[in-house]
Structure 1
Amino acid sequence: MGFLMDGLDPEEYDRAYTDRQLVARIVRYFRPQARKMAIVAGATVLASLVDTAVPILIARSLDRLQANPVLSSLAGLAALISLLSATSWVFNATRRWLSTEAVADVVLHMREDAFDAVTARDLSFYDQFPSGKIVSRVNSDTQAFSQVITLSMDLLGQILLIILLISYLSFVSLRLTLILLGLAPLIVVAALAFRAMARRTITASRRVNATVSSHIQETISGIGVAKTFRRERAIYEEFLPVNEQSFQVTRRTRFVFSSIFPVLNMLAGIATALLVYFGGLTVQAGALTAGGWFLFIQGLQMFWFPLTSIASFWSQFQIGLAAGERVFALIDAEARVVQTGAEVIEQPRGDILFEDVGFTYKQPAGDELTGADRELPTANWVLRAFNLHISPGETLALVGHTGSGKSSIGKLIARFYEFQEGRILIDGHDIRALDLGAYRARLGIVTQTPFLFDGTVMENIRYGRPDASDAEVEQVARHVGGGDWIMSLPRGLATEAGERGANLSMGQRQIVALARVLLQDPAIVILDEATASIDPLTETLIQEGLDEVLAGRTAIVIAHRLSTVRTADRIVVLRQGEIIEQGDHEMLLARGGHYAELYNTYFRHQSLEYIEGVAAL
């Protein structure tokens, strides 16, 4: 059992809902479908009435035929039964058609809500939780959720049918009906016994499916790296225990759900045998006609199916509830980044001020650090009591060893993460009070590995401004790198970028990313090691584009290249989240401090003087 549940613990944002809460949530999704559901309910009632009328008609006809067997009566009975069956089919088809539409609409809106929640989560959410598991909730769990809705639809018809059957069976033979009602709870109790087990197993099943999806997605995303290091066999062997766990959990789940109906049918068979015996004694005593006995047995067979369906409903209901619970937990997950207002800066200047900012990635989702939590170990704080002012139009370079806090500063300016202490002001406005959509519309970010979508190069450049004309896109594209790079594309800007930009070189992807930012015309630009993955020749080609992007804008440059550091107005040197030096390139070199050490270690070999010196040797 331990093996089955290893690694299947709930996510941090998961929460437990009662059946009442889940059902109430489902009802809210169904409110727009009230008209369809009313028609479905009417069709269900009519179909149940017709289905009940058929055995009653046969029983009455049997009694009449015993007294006066006439061929025409048989023909009329067959015709009437055919008509009733056709009518029942029409009602059931109407019910199925409209209920399918209603279910599809509910799942559609639920999936939209789940996807909206996914896009609303901040980046820290995706740092903590595997994307494959999130995809599973949006896709697979919403589909599984539709099962509970379909079951709920069928339940109404089954309940109506039972009520009608009991009403008539009590009229036929009250004694046998009382015996029937005395036996029915045995089936209900047996079905309810599966309830808790079913909820646990199906929840584990949904989690293990999400784990498999996450593992496969991660493997496919990194297949290039795996092949480079010849790790195909290793990742296959890593998949085996994950797949084995899925097999075991799924087998256990199937066993639980496949065993319920045989058990219920066995109990129903025993109950039927008892009622046949007592019914036969009643006929022999003359208290019941043969047609009435047939009607009772026929009605009994019709009674057991909806009863077992209703009884097993609570166990099967757990499939949909478990899936719904996972989807609702995703929708209800509390965001870390919470805006307190929606202020819009009409003409942003790009003045940025950090005031005693404290930031850690270790904060639990939805919680605030208070009391003893604020005494986190120093190593857990990326920034602590951090102060920095970036003037409008200034190009600021951040340098430092890995883990010094360079990228974190850029992410905080972009409002991708929530800081726990202090304030960040943009043009004098608290960043937490800004309208994020309007703010980010004037914020341009270029990362070390730019992400391009599957589409043309022109579509990728236009991504930040969908309303931009082709002429505007082309004009911006020619500003970056002198436009020569466009000639190297097979179809110019109409060239397909491919998935993640696979059809373009790294340098071309970076140029597209720069053009995308330039088209957006941001007031603040963040270059997060934007040229670290580019060869020196390509860097030279796009330096002109960088100058165009940075001109007249506030720029935060996180760089591993000498060219982007030397041209900065100010260089800030970081170590473990603290500013230890700042100034321009020449000043810091002359000081001979940590920057000079970094320069000699990482940057000096990129300088023209160094290259010429090596060539002279």
Structure 2
Amino acid sequence: MGFYSGLAAEKYDRQYSDKKLLERIAQYFKGQIRYLLIIVVSIIVRAIIEAISPVIVARGLDQVTQSEITNRFILILSGIVLILGILSWLTNFLRRRYSARTIAELIRQLSSDAFKASVQQDLSFHDSYDSGKIVSRITFDTREFGQLVTISTDVITQLITSISLLVILFRTEWRLSLAVLLLVPISLVLVIRYRHIARKITREGMRAMANVNSAIKESISGIAIAKNFRQEEAIYDEFNEANQTSFEVNVKRGFVLSIVFPLLRIVGSVATALMVYFGAISVLGGYISAGAWYLFLSTLEQFLFPVFSVASFWTNVQTGLSAAERIFALIDAEHSVKQIDHVVPERIEGHIEMRSLHFRYTPDEPILTDFSLDIKPGETLALVGHTGAGKTSIGRLIARFYEFQDGELLIDGIDIRKYDLLALRKQMGIVSQVPFLFSGTVEDNIRYSCPNCLREKILDIGSKIGGGEWLETLPNGLDTQVGERGAQLSMGQRQLVALMRVLIQKPSIFILDEATASIDPFTEQQIQTALDLILSNTTSILIAHRLSTVRSADRILVMRMGEIIEEGNHEALMKQGNHYAELYNTYFRHQSLEYIEEAGKFAQRHDFTI
């Protein structure tokens, strides 16, 4: 893999100016004014203490060289220095404590906003972008941004200290002070010229880390498949490649980000050497006192340190700003599904119309072209056809997971884009081809669509499916743990739980992308019973792979390349002997009872075991 392979920005990424970033960041501090005031006061007080401490010591030094001093004077001077040190520690403690609280709240809000933006995105967004990289923005990038805020408070403290010291130094000796001040532009020029390079290499470093996170997530999620095909070494190599790329990018990043600080340290060393020389001449010439010379020497580095800090912590500064860009890009990512109104229906009847609909996933991938379809309320429609015929796309458009490009899609005579998305989907029950279950119990997953549903109601509905026998097959009934993604259950059990989730919801429109996995006859019968319960009260679109599901449909559409080529019920289509009959003999016939009986007789005649 090349040095920057796989480090391209996502399509929704964008670059923000520093001003825009700061404006967006400021919005997150509006609710924390009280804590910010404590932080600001602490910063100012500590900066003043840090500025006057060397002045007091310098004045004391002048007293030592100019007159006799007493033990009392020494004790008072030491006490003042001690008290200032304690006050400095106390104000620093307050600043850090409330900064930590403010930053924690900031990270919480950013993570919440980023996560909310992610879950509210259209399905097309999640189909297009790697989930591991999205997770990296919500977790890793928000923490990196928090580091920027911490560093900012440190730098602000040092800047206030520097300004205070500059005033004191000019009042002490303006010529030496002017010489010190001339060093600042040199340092700033180095930092400013360096800024754009640092931002670019930092973004690449974060993308490399996102690739590593993505590789880990994909490998762990697919570990069962990897083991089935003995590909543990292959997925390790894939991870190692991403990790090695991240290593190389971050080594280069570290090198680039570490150059500026040594350069600025050289500037500081030159400044100190010049101050020693010219300061000594000034003392010998009687222009300044020894105490003033000490003040210049002791505060020179303290004065220049904020500039050095910005440079030395530039890694964190650029990482934080890059993280902010990536987080805000996720939050600001545009939705492909467009809503033009927020109609909230009490109850949808389920009359679905598609008029001259055009849909494509990409500009060069047309799926539906001038497609029209009318589904009556309460009708059960089965869609059959080879892969790529457009069956799943129809379900996704009705569920508003994707946006069509032209034509009309109406529900109960209203443009689907006028419905409030949340209200619309509350009246839709959707079961995907591979039913997804969340970690938890069977009951938790059934309740997902109806959190306030009583356990008695779940048991009552469950008992209507084969007398509730399917619940008896679960080790602990409704309290059975399903495992990650439902791994502890069979595919048939997962389908039953997913169908129960829909039954509890009582939707008006039901969309089923039926699984193709083979299941035992007992579970097949249970699933069909659950389906019959749903189909009796909904307008249903079934992307069918089982013969029993096809036969239960009021109408069957046979699709090919985004077009309807046949239409009718099972018996009528079989009589026509066209494409549906071909599909039946290819995919469905082996599921029929007649086929099984014929196979059994054939096996008996030839002494086979089936």
TM superposition score category, shorter chain reference:
over 0.9
Does structure 1 retain, via aligned residues, the 8 Å contact 2:516–2:545? yes
Corresponding letter in the other structure for 1:565:
V
Quote the residue 2:350 is aligned against. 350
Quote the residue 1:369 is aligned against. none
**1:606 and 2:605 aligned:** no
**1:485 and 2:484 aligned:** no
**1:244 and 2:244 aligned:** yes
Q: TM-score, normalised by structure 2?
A: 0.96
Quote the residue 1:402 is aligned against. 387
Q: Helix, strand or coil for the counterpart of 2:2? A: helix
Corresponding letter in the other structure for 2:26:
V
1 CA distance for matches of 2:93 and 2:450?
48
2 CA distance for matches of 1:463 and 1:576?
36
Quote the residue 2:272 is aligned against. 272
2 CA distance for matches of 1:106 and 1:533?
50
2 CA distance for matches of 1:438 and 1:290?
79
Does structure 1 retain, via aligned residues, the 8 Å contact 2:466–2:529? yes
2 CA distance for matches of 1:307 and 1:583?
78
Does structure 2 retain, via aligned residues, the 8 Å contact 1:532–1:560? no
**1:452 and 2:437 aligned:** yes
In the alignment, structure 2 segments of 5+ residues that lack a partner are 603-610
Quote the residue 1:61 is aligned against. 60
**1:207 and 2:207 aligned:** yes
2 CA distance for matches of 1:311 and 1:498?
49
**1:75 and 2:75 aligned:** yes
**1:569 and 2:569 aligned:** no
Moved over 6 A (4+): none
2 CA distance for matches of 1:479 and 1:255?
68
Does structure 2 retain, via aligned residues, the 8 Å contact 1:350–1:392? yes
Point out the more displaced range, 65-74 or 393-402: 65-74
Matches within 5 A, 1:570-609: 570-609=555-594
Shift of 1:150: 2.1
1 CA distance for matches of 2:503 and 2:518?
20
1 CA distance for matches of 2:55 and 2:75?
17
1 CA distance for matches of 2:297 and 2:45?
23
Q: Helix, strand or coil for the counterpart of 1:614? A: helix
Does structure 2 retain, via aligned residues, the 8 Å contact 1:194–1:315? no
Does structure 1 retain, via aligned residues, the 8 Å contact 2:261–2:311? no
2 CA distance for matches of 1:304 and 1:479?
79
Shift of 1:313: 6.1
1 CA distance for matches of 2:521 and 2:544?
14
Corresponding letter in the other structure for 2:353:
L
Deviations 1:590-613 (A, max 9, x none): 011110111111111211111111
Q: TM-score, normalised by structure 1?
A: 0.95
2 CA distance for matches of 1:528 and 1:154?
56
Shift of 1:311: 5.1
Deviations 1:427-470 (A, max 9, x none): 11111111111111111111221111111111110000011111
Point out the more displaced range, 393-402 or 606-615: 606-615
Does structure 1 retain, via aligned residues, the 8 Å contact 2:39–2:98? yes
| Partner of residue 418 from structure 2, selected from 433, 438, 459 | 433
Quote the residue 1:6 is aligned against. 5
Shift of 1:531: 5.8
Shift of 1:545: 1.5
Corresponding letter in the other structure for 1:57:
I
2 CA distance for matches of 1:468 and 1:583?
39
Does structure 1 retain, via aligned residues, the 8 Å contact 2:567–2:573? yes
Deviations 1:4-29 (A, max 9, x none): 22221111111111111111111122
Point out the more displaced range, 112-121 or 139-148: 139-148
Deviations 1:296-343 (A, max 9, x none): 111113212223124556664322111101111111111001111111
1 CA distance for matches of 2:406 and 2:31?
44
Shift of 1:358: 0.7
Quote the residue 1:148 is aligned against. 148
Shift of 1:35: 2.6
1 CA distance for matches of 2:518 and 2:122?
26
Does structure 2 retain, via aligned residues, the 8 Å contact 1:357–1:383? yes
Deviations 1:487-518 (A, max 9, x none): 12222111111111122111111111111100
2 CA distance for matches of 1:353 and 1:533?
34
Quote the residue 1:41 is aligned against. 40
Shift of 1:34: 2.3
Q: Helix, strand or coil for the counterpart of 1:5? A: coil
Does structure 2 retain, via aligned residues, the 8 Å contact 1:191–1:315? no
2 CA distance for matches of 1:315 and 1:590?
73
**1:284 and 2:269 aligned:** no
Corresponding letter in the other structure for 1:495:
T
Shift of 1:482: 2.8
| Partner of residue 475 from structure 1, selected from 460, 464, 474 | 460
